[in-house]
Amino acid sequence: MNNRPATVLVVDDEPWAGTYLSSLLGQCDDVEVAGVFRTSQPALDLVEERSIDLAFLDIEMPDIDGLTLAERIKKIDPLTEVVFTTGYEHYSLEAFKHYALGYLLKPCDIEDVRHHLDQARALRTRRQERKLVLKTFGRFDAFLDERTLIFSNAKAKELLALLADADGGQVSMERAVDLLWENHIYDESVKALYRRALCDLRTTLHECGADRALVRARGSASLDMSAVECDYHAYLQGKHDLFHGAYMEQYSWGEETLSRILNEAG
C-alpha cells in the first residue's frame, strides 16, 4: 500500500452520499476509488476479484446492513479495513465490536477521510516488515522466520509456487486452472476449486503475517516481489550460483522453466 495507491470502495444506498464521499477521496493523494455502489453484491464481487485496502460502508441499507456486509467482506479478505458511515452516532460502539477501523458521521469532511486512510496505511506498513521466503530450486517450499509454512490445501501451496514461477507477473485464473487442474474442463466447478485455493492461500499468508506478498486483480493474481525473498528471483537478477540443477521438483509444469534455465546455462 505504501508503494501503490490505496484501493478504496464505497457502499451507500443514498446516491448523494456515495458521490460526496467519492469526491472527498478524489482529493486525497495516492487513492484509487475502485468502486462506488448502492447495494452490497457488487461490492462483494469486487472484493472477490481484487485486493481492497479500505471499505467505507453505510450502516443502514435496504438489502443488508453495513455490519453484515462488513462481516462478509472480512470473510473474503481479512485484510480489508472497514470504516462505517452513518448519520446516527449511537451506532459507533456496535460498529467497533465488528472490528471496524472507525466510523464517520455524515456529512464527513476531508480531514476525517484522510485520518482513516492514514490509519489503514499504518496498519499495512506494520504488515510489510516480514518477508516471505520461497525456495524453488529443488522442491518448492515457503518459509517465514525460518519456519516452514504449513498449507491445509495442497493446491494453495502449488498456486503460490506458480506465482513464484511468474516472478511478479500476473497469472490468470485460466492459466492457473490449466496447469494445476490439467485434467479438468474449464467450467464453473473448476473455477470454484481455483477460488478456494486462492482463498486458502490468502488465509495462510494472513495468519503468518505475510499477506502483503499476494496481490489480487480481476481474474488474476501475482506476487509483490518486494515482499518476497525467492531464489529463482535472485537467479534472474544474476545470482546463477544458486541453481544446482533442479527446480520445483514436485510440479510437472515447472519443467518448462527448468528447461529454459538449463538451456541458458549451456
Instruction: Map out the domains of the chain with their CATH numbers.
Output: 6-127 (3.40.50.2300), 132-265 (1.10.10.10)
Q: How many other C-beta atoms lie within 10 A of the C-beta of residue 46?
A: 20
Name the burial class of residue 81, with classes exposed (0-12), middle (13-18) and buried (19+) by CB atoms within 10 angstroms of its CB: buried
Cα 247 from Cα 254, distance rounded (Å): 7
Which pLDDT score is estimated for 211?
81
| pLDDT per residue as tens digits for the range 200-237 | 999 899 888 788 899 988 899 999 999 999 999 999 99
Three cell numbers at 196?
A: 478456494
What was the pLDDT predicted at 250?
97
Start-to-end CA distance of the chain, whole Å, equals 41
Segments in the chain below pLDDT 70:
1-3, 89-99, 126-130, 266
Q: What are phi and psi of 247, to 5 degrees?
A: -150, 125
pLDDT computed for residue 123 by the predictor: 80
Q: Is 148 exposed, middle or buried (0-12, 13-18, 19+ CB in 10 A)?
A: exposed
pTM, full prediction: 0.61
User: pLDDT at position 262, please?
Assistant: 95
* Secondary structure of the chain in HEC code, one letter for each residue: CCCCCEEEEEECCCHHHHHHHHHHHHCCCCEEEEEEECCHHHHHHHHHHCCCCEEEEECCCCCCCHHHHHHHHHHHCCCCEEEEEECCHHHHHHHHHCCCCEEEECCCCHHHHHHHHHHHHHHHHHHCCCCEEEECCCCCEEEECCEECCCCCHHHHHHHHHHHHHCCCCEEHHHHHHHHCCCCCCCHHHHHHHHHHHHHHHHHHHHCCCHHHEEEECCEEEECHHHEEEHHHHHHCCCHHHCCCCCCCCCHHHHHHHHHHHHHHC
Give the pLDDT confidence of 158-181 residue by residue, as tens digits.
999 999 999 999 999 999 999 999
Could you give the CA distance from residue 223 to residue 30 in angstroms, rounded to a whole number? 21
